[in-house]
């Protein structure tokens, strides 16, 4: 039996609205005490004890990233290890992998491949349609039985209205959400239906005209959202919009929520920290989907976070090889890494006093769990000791050279915050040297 004690640490638990300086005692894999005054009676026998002085530090539930592209299933373990160091104790992977997550056996394989209890838990979305083609439903019921937490075509929009209605009706029956990448592919120029289609490259507007790049109109997002909301109302399904990026879409979602329709949504850091001006030098690290929008859209995303229209912040992690990003802008691949910067960039909203720390942690831990009906992370007595420790006051700089994944749209950005430890079921899976320096010999 082993004990770990965290002395004078601020415990922030969004699930119970608890936010107090406390002494936390861990025995093996369970939290056995959270109290202002340490009770020595919680320590029994002559057992090993590790004590940390945590003055000025914060403990919160581990983070959940509900939108992660791993590319190939063999990348799963390395993704888990990197997520771990960045405070993420649970990830949800998209089906656009190799092989595609479009049948029960591959979903089961993913879960079996990720049973290591000292690494972040892995959940998976099942592909909504076979081969992401948007024409024929996948085996939703069987994938759900194997643990699929929702259904989506990942980085592709579900275009066909009849197919979407059928997907929603069936998902309602098995109580799983439909997650949509909301983009009218014809307007965006990515439909393969016509050989004359022109592939959109960035947000349509003055900047795209000045740069000579093909524009994607912002209405390509809201058109799909408006259609899907009507279908969600018809079927009663839980409908979730991924990475919302425009004021129009956010306004429509806000109205639908007030109407009582079961709708949730997420966004990603590029959409509340950057706008289309970042592309003025043709830097392909800013080529993402949805594209970076106008400053007004960026402000609308922040407003949506503040008033609760936006439920979750996800990394939208989609690492790309350097070879595919050093191409001319039109030929460069779409996507950017995000799993290593999710925590730091979400904290930027706190440091700018746009939201408080409790809301920030909720957006990247409690809320995604609630949206996907996964056991919500919490810090309470007799619960599994899965949590992070961080210092939100440390000055930091995001440097691509220090990151394992590329590219980041935030290279050189000054931020504040540092993950000092990640514990999973009582295991000290990651402990930064800074925290090790705070080891004490006695309480």
CATH of the domain at 50: 2.30.40.10
Question: In this model, does residue 58 exceed pLDDT 60?
Answer: yes
pLDDT of residue 194: 43
- 348 shares its domain with 204: yes
Q: Is residue 405 part of a domain?
A: no
pLDDT of residue 192: 52
pLDDT of residue 114: 80
The b-or-e profile of 160-181 (16+ CB within 10 A means b, else e) is: eeebbbbbbebbbeeebbbbbb
- 282 shares its domain with 386: no
Question: In this model, does residue 373 exceed pLDDT 90?
Answer: yes
- 180 shares its domain with 230: yes
Q: Which of these is catalytic: 184, 228, 266, 316?
A: 316
- 133 shares its domain with 214: yes
- 198 shares its domain with 339: yes
- 47 shares its domain with 71: no
Q: For residues 316-338, give the mean pLDDT.
A: 94
Question: In this model, does residue 176 exceed pLDDT 80?
Answer: yes
- The three-state DSSP-derived secondary structure of the chain is CCEEEEEEEEEEECCCCEEEEEEEEEECCEEEEEECCCCHHHCCCCCCEEEEECCCCEEEECEEEEEEECCEHHHHHHHHHHHHHCCEEEEEECCCCECCCCCHHHHHHHHHHCCCCCCCEEEECEECEHHHCCCCECCHHHHHHCCCCCEECCCCCCCCHHHHHHHHHHHHHCCCCEEECCCCHHHHCCCCCCCCCCCCCEECCHHHHHHCCCEECCHHHHHHHHHHHHHHHHHCCCEEECCCCCHHHHHHHHHHHHHCCCEEEEECHHHHHCCHHHHHHCCHHHCCCCCCCCHHHHHHHHHHHHHCCCCEECCCEECCCHHHHCCCCCCCCCCCCCCCCHHHHHHHHHHCCCCCHHHHHHHCCHHHHHHHCCCCCCCCCCCECCEEEEEEEEEEECCHHHCCCCCCCCCCCEEEEEEEEEEECCEEEEECHHHHCCEECCC
Q: Domain count of the chain?
A: 2
Q: What's the CATH code of the domain at 366?
A: 3.20.20.140
Which tokens is 378 given? 């919490």
Domain that includes residue 305, residue range: 63-372
pLDDT of residue 293: 98
- 100 shares its domain with 151: yes
- 82 shares its domain with 195: yes
168 in Cβ contact with 231 (< 8 Å): yes
Half-sphere exposure of 130 (CA within 13 A, CB side): 5
Q: Is residue 404 part of a domain?
A: no
pLDDT of residue 196: 46
Q: For residues 359-381, give the mean pLDDT.
A: 95
pLDDT of residue 193: 47
Q: For residues 189-210, give the mean pLDDT.
A: 76
Q: For residues 147-173, give the mean pLDDT.
A: 96
- 141 shares its domain with 217: yes
Q: For residues 398-415, give the mean pLDDT.
A: 97
Q: Is residue 136 part of a domain?
A: yes
- 162 shares its domain with 14: no
CA distance 69 to 223: 25
Q: Is residue 288 part of a domain?
A: yes
Q: What is the pTM of this model?
A: 0.94
**70-86, pLDDT tens digit by residue?**
988 889 999 999 999 99
Mean model confidence pLDDT for the chain? 93
- 14 shares its domain with 80: no
**259-306, pLDDT tens digit by residue?**
999 999 999 999 999 999 999 999 999 999 999 999 999 999 999 999
pLDDT of residue 72: 87
pLDDT of residue 358: 97
The percent of residues in the chain predicted with pLDDT above 90, rounded, is 85
Residue 21: closest CA among 30, 29, 11, 31: 11
Q: For residues 372-397, give the mean pLDDT.
A: 94
- 48 shares its domain with 84: no
Specify whether 356 is catalytic.
Answer: no
């Amino acid at each position: 039996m082993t004990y770990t004690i965290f002395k004078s640490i601020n415990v922030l638990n969004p699930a119970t609205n608890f936010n107090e300086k406390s002494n936390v005692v861990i025995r093996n894999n369970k939290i056995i005490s959270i109290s202002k005054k340490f009770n020595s009676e919680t320590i029994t026998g002559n057992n090993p004890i590790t004590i940390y002085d945590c003055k000025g530090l914060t403990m919160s539930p581990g983070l959940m990233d509900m939108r992660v592209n791993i590319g190939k299933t063999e990348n799963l373990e390395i993704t888990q290890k990197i997520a771990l160091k960045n405070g993420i104790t649970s990830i949800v992977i998209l089906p656009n992998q190799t092989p595609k997550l479009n049948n029960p056996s591959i979903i089961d394989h993913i879960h079996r491949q990720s049973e290591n209890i000292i690494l972040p838990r892995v959940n998976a979305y099942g592909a909504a349609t076979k081969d992401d083609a948007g024409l024929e439903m996948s085996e939703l019921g069987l994938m759900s039985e194997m643990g699929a937490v929702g259904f989506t075509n990942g980085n592709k929009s579900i275009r066909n209205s009849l197919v979407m209605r059928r997907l929603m009706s069936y998902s309602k029956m098995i109580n799983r959400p439909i997650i949509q990448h909301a983009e009218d592919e014809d307007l965006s120029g990515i439909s393969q239906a016509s050989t004359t289609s022109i592939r959109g490259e960035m947000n349509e507007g003055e900047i795209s005209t000045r740069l000579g790049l093909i524009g994607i109109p912002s209405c390509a997002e809201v058109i799909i959202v408006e259609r899907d909301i009507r279908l969600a109302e018809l079927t009663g399904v839980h409908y979730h919009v991924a990475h919302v990026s425009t004021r129009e879409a956010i306004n429509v979602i806000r109205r639908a929520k007030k109407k009582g329709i079961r709708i949730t949504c997420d966004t990603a850091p590029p959409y509340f920290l950057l706008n289309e001006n970042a592309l003025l030098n043709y830097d392909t690290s800013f080529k993402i989907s949805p594209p970076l929008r106008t400053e007004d859209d960026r402000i609308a995303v922040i407003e949506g976070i503040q008033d609760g229209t936006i439920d979750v912040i996800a990394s939208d992690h989609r690492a790309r090889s350097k070879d595919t990003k050093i191409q001319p802008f039109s030929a460069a691949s779409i996507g950017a890494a995000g799993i290593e910067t999710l925590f730091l960039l979400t904290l930027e909203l706190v440091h700018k006093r746009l939201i408080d720390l409790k809301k920030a942690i909720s957006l990247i831990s409690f809320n995604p769990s609630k949206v996907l009906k996964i056991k919500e992370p919490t810090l309470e007595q007799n619960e599994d000791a899965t949590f992070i420790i961080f210092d939100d006051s440390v000055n930091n700089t995001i440097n691509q050279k220090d990151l394992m994944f590329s590219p980041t749209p935030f290279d050189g950005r000054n931020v504040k915050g540092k993950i000092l430890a990640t514990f999973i079921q009582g295991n000290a899976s990651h402990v930064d040297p800074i925290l090790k320096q705070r080891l004490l010999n006695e309480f």
